[in-house]
Structure 1
Amino acid sequence: MPTFPDLIPLPCDETLRVHAFASTVPGPRLIVLGGVHGDETCGTEGIERVRAQLDTGGLQLLRGRLTLVPVANPLARRRGSREGERNLNRLFQPSDHPADYEARLTNLLCPLLAAHDVLLDLHSFQSAGEAFSMIGPRDNSGLLEPFSRGAEEGRLALHIGTPRVVEGWLDIYAAGLAQRAGGAPPDDAALAFGWGTNEYMRSCGGYGVTLECGQHQDPAAPAVAEQAILSALRLLGLVEVPVGARPPVQPTLLRLVSVTDRLDEGDQFVRDWATFDAVAQGEPIGLRNDGTLLRAERDGFIVFPNAQALVGTEWFYFAVESDRVL
C-alpha cells in the first residue's frame, strides 16, 4: 500500500469532499480533480497546497469560480488501490441505475463538471518517466468526439508547462476495441466505456487537460500538480499573474498511434521501459509467452508501459511525433 503524506488525511468513509471558491466578479469556472485513482496521491497534495493558500489569504480569487476535489474516489484512496470497484475514469457518464460504487460517484461528479468551463484532472503513472499532459482531439465535426475548443485546450496544456503533450486517446481506445474484436468497429456502448472525465467535460461544451504529474512515488510530483493548478488559475485570470512571469515554451507534441495488450501472464518486456523511452523501427520491445518477439512498428516512443498489466488489458502504448502546434 502506498505511503501518504501526513498533511493528507485518509478518508475514513466514502464521502466525496468538494471545496468551492466563488468570486463576486464573474469569470471562468475551473474544476480540479485529484485522486480519481486511489494510488495516485500527488494531485491530492497539490490541491491541498493550493487550498491552504486560498484559506490563509496567500492566494486570492479575483473572479470566476474554482472547485477543488482532492479525492475523487474515496473508496479507492482508503484502500490505497487504483480502483474501488472499477476504474472511475471509464464509463464516465451519468446513469439512471448506477450498478457500482464508481457509477454512484460518477452521478455526483458529472453535474459538478457540467457546471464548469474548464477541467484539470491530476494523475500519476506506474512506470518511471517525466510529467506530461494529455489533450483531446483537434476541432472536428466527426462522430467519435466532435469538438470546437481545441485551441483553448491546447493553450491550457501549453501554459501548464510540461515538456511533452500527448494527443489521440479516444482514437486509440476505439482502435484497441476494434483490434480485440478482430477488426469489427466498436458499438456505442463499448466506446462509452472509454469515456473519462475529459471526454465528458468536452461533451458538455467545456474543455479539459489531464496532467500526468510523474511516477506515483516521485517526490517532485506534488509540486508539479500545485504549479499546474496555479498556472491554470493565472491563464484564466482567476488569480494575479506574478510580475516577471515568463512566457511558456512550446513542448514536444506526441500522438498515440497504437496500443498493445498483454495476452498472457508470461508476456514480458525485453527490458524495463519508462514512459517516453525512444525506440527505433524494428527494435525489440517485448516477448510473448509463445516466443513471438514484438518489435517497434516505426521510430517512436513507449508510453505507459505496465509490466504488471492484467491479461487482456493495455500493456503499452506507442506514440510518434505530432505535427500539431499549441
Structure 2
Amino acid sequence: MTASPDFLRIHGYASLQPGPRLMVLGGVHGNETCGTAGIERIAAELDAGSLALLRGQLTMVPVANPLARRRLRREGERNLNRLFRPTAPGAEPADYEARITDLLCPLLDRHEVLLDLHSFQSEGEAFAMIGPRDNQGPLEPFSRAFEEGQLALHLGTPRVVEGWLDIYAAGLAQRAGGRPADDAALAFGWGTNEYMRSRGGYGVTLECGQHEDPAAPEVAHAAILSTLRLLGMIAPDPQRPPPSRPSLLRLVSVTDRLHADDRFVREWATFDPVARGEPIGVRADGSLLGAERDGFLVFPNAEALPGTEWFYFAVESERDLTRKP
C-alpha cells in the first residue's frame, strides 16, 4: 500500500436538483480499510457514469486519518473518533487529529446525514450502531431517532446496536470511583456521529466486519448504495427486497482492561452470547470476571491497552425501529 499524504482527499458531487446532503467517511481509523475501498468504488462508478446522482449533495472522504493509515494503525497520535469537536477560536490544535477534526467539522456542518464506515478487531458479523432515542436530556439531546433508525434498517445488517455516549459516561464514572464525569471528560467520548447529531443531523456507524474480512469492502459499498437509495439520491432498485428486521441490542456497560496480564478465558467474537456468571476473562490477580447477566459481548479486544475498553456488554432491546416514537 502506498503512503498516505498529509492532506484529505475529498470526493464531492452535487446534483442540479436539490435534495439530501450526505457525508460518507472511511478510514477514521487507519487499520480499517473497507470504508476506503467502498468509497473509492462508488466514486469510480459516479465518475464513469454507471451511477448517477439524481438529487442532493454527496461528499465522501476515503481516508479521514492519513497519518493512521500511513502507519496502518488505529490511531495517528490519538483516536480521531474521540474529542471530535473543532478547536476553540484563538487556540492551536493540540495534535494531528485535532487538525483533521478542524477540517472535517466544517464539512459535516454542511450536511445532514452521516454514514461512517468502520471495521473491528475481533471476529464477527457486520452491524450498525445508532445513537439515543429522542430526548431533551443534558447528555445528548436528539429529535431524529426515527430517521436514524430507518437508515440503520436499510443497511441490511443482521444486528443494530443502540447507545454509546451514556455507556461511555458510565465508564468514566466507574473509573472515577462513581463520580460523574465533567464536561471535558465527556467531550472525549464525542465521535463523528455525536458531532453530527449536535448540529441537527443524524448519523449511523456501520461496522462492516472484521478488519481483514474480504467481504467487508463489499458491505461498505452496498451500504453507500442503500443509503443513497433510501434518501432518493440515486434510482431505486426494483429487484431489491425490502429490508428484513434486524436483531436490536442495547449497550449497557463497558469493562476496561486494567493490567497487561488481564486475559480472556477464550477467543471471543463480537455478539458471542454469554449467560449470567459465565467466565469472560481472568484478571492479573487471578480473579475471574463473569458476565453480569445474560447478554452479548461487543468489541472484545484482546489487544486493548491497560486503562482502555476491553469489551462492551449488550442485551436485547425492546425498541422498534419501524415505528415513530
Q: TM-score, normalised by structure 2?
A: 0.97
Secondary structure of 1:98's counterpart equals: coil
Structure-1 separation of matches of 2:27 and 2:70: 11
Per the alignment, residue 253 of structure 1 pairs with 248
- Hey, what does 1:113 align to over in structure 2? 108
Aligned length in residues: 318
Is it true that 1:304 corresponds to 2:299 in the alignment? yes
Instruction: Name the counterpart of 1:149.
Output: 144
| Larger mean Cα displacement after TM superposition, 238-247 or 164-173 | 238-247
Aligned to 1:134: 129
Pair 1:192-2:187 in alignment: yes
Give the distance between the partners of 2:31 and 2:281, measured in 1 at CA.
26
How many angstroms does 1:42 deviate by?
0.3
The code of the aligned residue for 1:81 comes to R
- The question of 1:239 aligning with 2:222 is answered no
d(CA) in 1 for partners of 2:266, 2:227 = 37
- Is 2:7 aligned against 1:15? yes
Over the aligned positions, Cα root-mean-square deviation in angstroms equals 0.7
Q: Which amino acid aligns with 1:102?
A: E
Q: How far has the Cα of 1:10 moved from its partner? A: 4.0
Residues 281-296 of structure 1: matches in 2 within 5 Å? 281-296=276-291
Q: How does 1:308-323 map to 2 (within 5 A)?
A: 308-323=303-318
1:74 to 40, 43, 66: 66
Q: Shift of the alpha carbon at 1:245?
A: 2.1
- SS, match of residue 82 in structure 1: coil
Q: What does 1:174-193 correspond to in 2, within 5 Å?
A: 174-193=169-188
Shift of 1:263: 0.6
Partner of 1:275: 270
User: What does 1:28-107 correspond to in 2, within 5 Å?
Assistant: 28-96=20-88, 97-107=92-102
Deviations 1:199-227 (A, max 9, x none): 00000000000000000000000000000
What residue identity is the alignment partner of 1:159?
H
Q: Secondary structure at the match of 1:43?
A: helix
CA distance in 2, matches of 1:256, 1:243: 35
* Secondary structure in 1 matching 2:318: coil
Three-state SS of the structure 2 residue aligned to 1:55 is: helix
Give, as a single letter, the amino acid of the residue that structure 2 aligns with 1:83.
E
Offset at residue 244 of structure 1 (A): 2.5
Q: For structure 1, which runs of at least 5 residues remain unmatched after alignment?
A: none
Displaced runs of 4 or more, over 6 A: none
**SS state at 2:105 partner:** helix
CA distance in 1, matches of 2:12, 2:290: 49
Within 1, Cα distance between the matches of 2:198 and 2:284? 41
CA distance in 1, matches of 2:37, 2:123: 20
Distance 1:14 1:298 in 2: 46
Mapped to 2, the partners of 1:281 and 1:155 lie a distance apart of 32
Q: Deviations over 1:259-296 (max 9, x none)?
A: 00001111010000000000011110000011110111
Query: d(CA) in 2 for partners of 1:282 and 1:243?
Result: 48
Using the alignment, how far apart are the partners of 1:249 and 1:142 within structure 2? 32
Asked if 1:264 corresponds to 2:250, the answer is no
Partner of 2:206: 211
Output the amino acid matched with 1:324.
R
State the identity %. Answer: 75
Offset, 1:79: 1.1
